[in-house]
Structure 1
Amino acid sequence: MIQQAVLRKTLIILAITLALILITGFIGLGLGYSSVSYDRIIPTLLGEGSFKEKFVLFDIRLPRILITVLAGMALALSGSILQSITRNDLADPGIIGINSGAGVAVAMFFLFVPIDPGTFVYMLPVAAFVGALLTSTLIYLFSYRKSEGLNPVRLILVGVGFSTALSGLMIVLISSAEREKVDFIAKWLAGNIWGTDWPFIIALLPWLIILIPFTLYKAYRLNLLGLSEPVSIGVGLEVQKERIVLLLAAVALAASAVSVTGGIAFVGLMAPHISKALVGPRNQLFIPISILMGGLLLLVADTVGRNLTDPDGIPAGVVVSLIGVPYFAYLLLKKK
């Protein structure tokens, strides 16, 4: 039973986080190479702007902001699921190699599959999901022992090993590719938000519409999976079945996000931690906050990064890593 005071606190934090997303998005609409006066943003959104103002907001800024928020939400939810099913606070799709697997699949798809402009946007998440699924399956198999189940520490070590190996494979793939394709993959690896058109939003949105309610429905089971394996089995939970189903959801979320934003890590690590610090470890409470927190973190990183230098700015993945790497080191030392 969730106490009314805790529930009220959760709702207040959700409202504040959502407000911060809206404020950051509004600020981002007015910043950039072709600036739009802030007093013209609302009229333009209501259809009263000039051709230039409408073009800048509706064709450039607004799609980028929306895709960034949605991708941050997907990465945060993926990290939340992974931390619960592995009982490891260091689990993140970027750290344990899932993003790298998706990246290799995207690179192979981009380099070797004939590109159809009509379906390219929608096939990218599918290609990324296949690569991430294969990688996560191998990581799971190497981390699992029949006598002790899934070892959280072994999972991180195996994941880091796979991430390193896949990074090497990526170098091999791009070493003989055309210059234009190498430039695209290099930007992808840096975490550059490149899928900034409305079709990318349409490609990403269904994954979130399906998997956010699904994860919230599974929140109680995630609480049980966070306990020791004998306790989870003792209360009647089909541990391996639930873990595999939720792992698939985490993989799908991470793959769909990185297919349009590039190799961004640490959002799935930081957002759940911040949320747990605010409302505690119960999944029903911290997951909704984590989802919004992920969107806010990536939106702030992209807004800051793209306005620091001209003309292309600094990739959001680099900005997030500047915060995430020290935070990861802090958590690693804290666990010792």
Structure 2
Amino acid sequence: MDIDRIHRKRFAYVMMILTVLVILVFLFSMNLGSYPLSPLDTIKTLFGGGTSESSLVLFGFRMPRMVLALLIGAGLAVSGAILQGVSRNELADPGIIGINAGAGLAVVLFIYTFEGSMGDLGWFSLFAMPFSALAGAFLAAFLIYILAWKQGISPIRLILVGIAVNAGFNALLIVFQLRMEPNNFSQAMIWLSGSIWGANWRLVLSTLPWIAILLPYTIYKSKHLNVLALGDSIATGLGTKVEKERRVLLAAAVALAGACVAVGGGIAFLGLVAPHLARRLVGPMHHFLIPTSAVMGALLLLIADTIGKNLFTPAEIPVGLVVSAIGAPYFIYLLMKTN
């Protein structure tokens, strides 16, 4: 009981610190950009006393982008935490094992199919793209699950099959990109690199339901992840329906990744790094790990987006490239460390 109390106390402290950091970075990021706002101007604008230009910049461009970064960061981090728990593999991540590529291929197919008529679809396109991404993510997950299955799921087999599926979907992505009009090809390239440029409140609205529903659900299901981490035989002995729970949790991870990829593009490594950092802070118990991963992922992506849009102002670096610059060395470190 004392150990559990210590873990809960540590979890509360970590969550409080991370939340404060998210708020500070959010407030700091509101002042930065090609149209700089002083802290005083930002405060005035927040309370309705700013100019029309500052209101447009803050509420029309910066805030929806930052809110979207928080949602995408939380979603991808939780997706990675679930995949690592389900597969019992530290290297599992929706971007590495092909789920992001499947979602990306579906969205590119959607853009290619409705090329030239996207504007006519209006609101439909905003909500159809997440569903397209979801379908592609589930297709990738289904292929990975079927091909990796051999009297159970082997962690190493899962990673190898995922990498192969990822390569296949990326090859198909290139084929369809080459058949696009030049403008749409450039847009697709930026989007697949991981970009939340051009975010608006409608994109926030299309992403919010997925995070608001699936994040609490995965926290509720975290007890099953704790049992699955003990191994299939022990989990079965404890009365857990292993394959059923694994499929349900995998579906939640895929849905989160698909919804995030639909609006944020191919942001890789975030689902790998955020759960690892969270695990170092609060330990491996998933009822602590999942909410901590969500806040950690939101913080990391918000920082990456702040760097990407301000490092070479007025030019921008896609946020996915910033995350990859941080995540790729960490991935190599994990590969060297893993037996």
TM bracket (short chain): over 0.9
Q: Which amino acid aligns with 2:63?
A: L
Match of 2:145 in 1: 140
* 2:122 counterpart (117, 133, 158): 117
Q: Does 1:241 align with 2:244?
A: yes
Partners of 2:61 and 2:198 within 8 A in 1:
no
Please state how far the C-alpha of 1:195 moved relative to its aligned partner: 5.1
Question: What secondary structure sits across from 2:34 in the alignment?
Answer: coil
After superposing on structure 2, the runs of 4+ consecutive aligned residues of structure 1 that deviate more than 4 Å are: none
The letter for the 2-side match of 1:142 is L
Cα distance in 1 for residues equivalent to 2:58 and 2:171: 39
Rounded to whole Å, the distance in 2 between the matches of 1:185 and 1:229 is 41
Number of residue pairs aligned between Structure 1 and Structure 2:
334
SS at match of 2:94: coil
2-structure distance, mates of 1:3, 1:133? 37
Output aligned runs, 1:1-336, within 5 Å: 3-113=4-114, 114-115=117-118, 116-146=121-151, 149-194=152-197, 196-336=199-339
Structure 1, residues 29-84: CA drift from partner, whole Å, max 9, x if none? 11111111111112211111110110000001000000001000000000011000
Aligned-partner Cα distance in 1 for 2:264–2:270: 12
Q: d(CA) in 1 for partners of 2:208 and 2:338? A: 36
**Contact 2:274–2:297 under 8 Å retained in 1:** yes
Stretches of structure 2 lacking an aligned partner (at least 5 in a row): none
For 1:118 and 1:320, how far apart are their aligned partners in 2?
A: 30
Q: Distance in 2 between matches of 1:227 and 1:5?
A: 22
Gaps of 5+ in 1: none
Q: Is the 8 A contact 2:266 2:320 kept in 1?
A: yes
How much identity, in percent, do the aligned residues show?
A: 44
* Deviation by residue 1:123-159 (Cα, 9 ceiling, x = unmatched): 111000000000100001000112xx00110110111
Letter in 1 for 2:4: Q
What is the CA distance between 1:165 and its match in structure 2?
A: 1.2
Task: Confirm or deny: 8 A CA contact 2:195 2:264 kept in the other structure.
Answer: yes
AA in 1 matched with 2:287: Q
Contact 2:96 2:268 in 1 (8 A): yes
For the residues of structure 1 that align with 2:46 and 2:310, how far apart are their CA atoms? 22
| Aligned CA-pair RMSD | 1.0
